[in-house]
Every structure is written in C-alpha cells, then in structure tokens.
Amino acid sequence: MHPRRADRPDASSVLLPGPWEHSDYSTNGVRLHVAEAGSGPLILLLHGFPQFWWAWRHQITALADAGYRVVAPDLRGFGASDKPPRPYDVMTTAADIARLVSAMGEREATLVGHDLGGSVAWTVARFRPDVVARLVILSAPHPRRWRAALVSDFKQIGASSHVFGFQTPRSPEQRLTRDGAVEVGRLMTEWAGERWASTVDFAEARGRYQRAMLIPQAAYGALEHYRWAVRSLPRPDGVRYTRRMSIPVGMPTLQLHGGRDSCILPTTAQGSSRYVSSTYEWQTISHAGHFLPEEVPDLVTGEILRWIKS
C-alpha cells in the first residue's frame, strides 16, 4: 500500500538529535540542510542513495573531535533539503556544494563523497577546484568510468538494473515508497556487506532511510539524479559534461571501495586514477559491501584523517 500524504513523515523527521547542530544554508537557489559539529579546517561529507546526512553519524563526531569543522549536508532532493521540480544534473548539484563552502564563510574544504556524493565530489573537484583541498571517494568511480560502464560493461549494467528501472515517470516513486518504502530496505540488504547486514545498527539504518524516503517529494528528488545520469548519456549536455570530466583533477585523491560491493563493482571504479594528476591512492576493503561509512566506520574515519594529514 502507498502511504497517504497525511501519514508521511515531514522533513523535520530527519533532524535527529546528537552531538551536532542542524542548520540551513541558501546556496545556488536552494536551501540545503546540514548537520554540523566542531571547528577547524572544513570537511564536507556527501551522502549517497538511498541515504541522507545521517549516513555520516559515525564520522561527524570523530572528525570533529580530531579538530575539524565537519558538515554533512542533505543533497538537493534528499532529507530536509529543498526538493525542487528541477534541475538534478550533477553539475547543478556540484554547484550547490561549491557555493555551500562560501556560504559557510570558508575558502576550501576536503570533500568526502560516497556513492552519488562521490560523483558530486569528483564533479566539484573538476568544475570548482579552487574550493577543494583534497578528495576522499568512497564506493564511487570517476564519472567517466561509470558512464562508460553503463553502456559497455554487461556486469555493471546488470548491477545497475535499478538505475535503468528508475527511468520511467511516476511508477518508480510508487515502487520505492510502497509498503513503508520496503524497496529501500531490499536494496540496502542487497548491497550491504554480510557483516553489517546482520547487525542491529543495519536494522536501525534501514528503518531510518525507509522513513526518510517517505518524506513528500523525497523519492522524486532522489530518482531525478539518476534519471539525468542515464538520459543525458546521448544528449549534448551529457556529452559536454563527459568531455569536461576527461581533464584530470589536480588535488590529492584517496579512493576506497568495498571488495564485495554489488552496486558499484570494484572493476568499474578501478582505473579512476587516470583522472587524477596529483597524488592518488586506491584501497580495497575486502570484506565490505557498498556502505563503507557505516560498515567500517572506524576505518573510514582513520583513512580520512590520515589522508588530510599526509
């Protein structure tokens, strides 16, 4: 059954309490909600699908305690951020994040991006390198690698069947929100590593993300990012984007990937080094699946700190 609008949670349901503060910033024509803690050099944590800022709950406090200003925004279309009718192309979402840096009174940030947030981070680094000090990319290939795989790699095409299923209007939103957004839980269970999927923490996270997807227009906003990604492949805007992304980024880049990631295959993400002209490091986390910040939170936090300090 589809939840009636009156039965759906509102955006305030993701303003979860903790050792962080909730704020809103106006940037690039939208209002972005952020969870923030600490003071010092800025670290921006960009979540993926089907999540919201809470995916970084483990890193927010740990990185803040280490002496950093840590900010985890909800991307446009997700959580408590605005969900405009359009646009949802990755260049616009990247501009949201680049302008968020200045809206917070900062000059630059270390960008840490997971999944969709990783694609956004790669794009910010290419289009606005002046605001990016370092990159940490989790479970996300360079956009040129992913876009090529969507049309040429049969294994990744199979792993991305959900993305192709998102392309029709309306029915994917209905499928994603049916029965309390059980489809969100199914996708998470499919993509998560076995160790995390059997824990209480996973069950809590799954419930949080299912409920957040029921916020009005959240399913639409989340899916529009993927509709642009596929529909733009043959279009002039997508061709221009792919061409511009061929120029390597020029900041130190750390890339972490789960060896058991069945959503973005490790072979798809490998080879991203050709799009980095600075120091680059790749690590495979052999036992992990797709959700590295939650599956191996201490490892991720430690690697972020090591990379920033190196």
- Helix 116-127 vs helix 90-103: angle between axes, to the nearest 10 degrees? 70
Shortest CA distance to 150 belongs to which of 5, 265, 1? 265
pTM: 0.96
Among all chains, which residue has been given the structure tokens 């923490």? 201
Residues in the chain predicted with pLDDT less than 70, given as ranges, are 1-6
Q: Quick one: what percent of the chain has pLDDT higher than 70?
A: 98
What CATH number should be reported for the domain holding residue 275?
3.40.50.1820
- Predicted pLDDT of residue 208: 98
For residue 306, give both structure tokens.
Answer: 């090591």
- Predicted pLDDT of residue 5: 55
Q: Is 228 exposed, middle or buried (0-12, 13-18, 19+ CB in 10 A)?
A: buried
Other C-beta atoms lying within 10 Å of the C-beta of residue 233: 15
- Predicted pLDDT of residue 170: 87
- Predicted pLDDT of residue 8: 83
- Predicted pLDDT of residue 2: 52
- pLDDT tens-digit map of 206-256: 999 999 999 999 999 999 999 999 999 999 999 999 999 999 999 999 999
Q: Which residues of 92-128 are buried (b: 16+ CB within 10 A; e: fewer)?
A: bbbbbbbbbbeebeeebbbbbbbbbbbbbbbbbbbbb
Structural domain containing residue 181? 5-309
Q: Answer whether 244's CB lies under 8 Å from 42's CB.
A: no
Other C-beta atoms lying within 10 Å of the C-beta of residue 225: 23
Q: Answer whether 177's CB lies under 8 Å from 214's CB.
A: yes
Other C-beta atoms lying within 10 Å of the C-beta of residue 79: 29
Rounded-to-integer distance, Cα 151 and Cα 238, Å: 14
Q: How far is the CA of 10 from the CAs of 157, 217, 237, 310, in angstroms? A: 34, 10, 34, 42
> How many domains is the chain built from?
1
283 beta partners: 256
Q: Answer whether 305's CB lies under 8 Å from 276's CB.
A: no
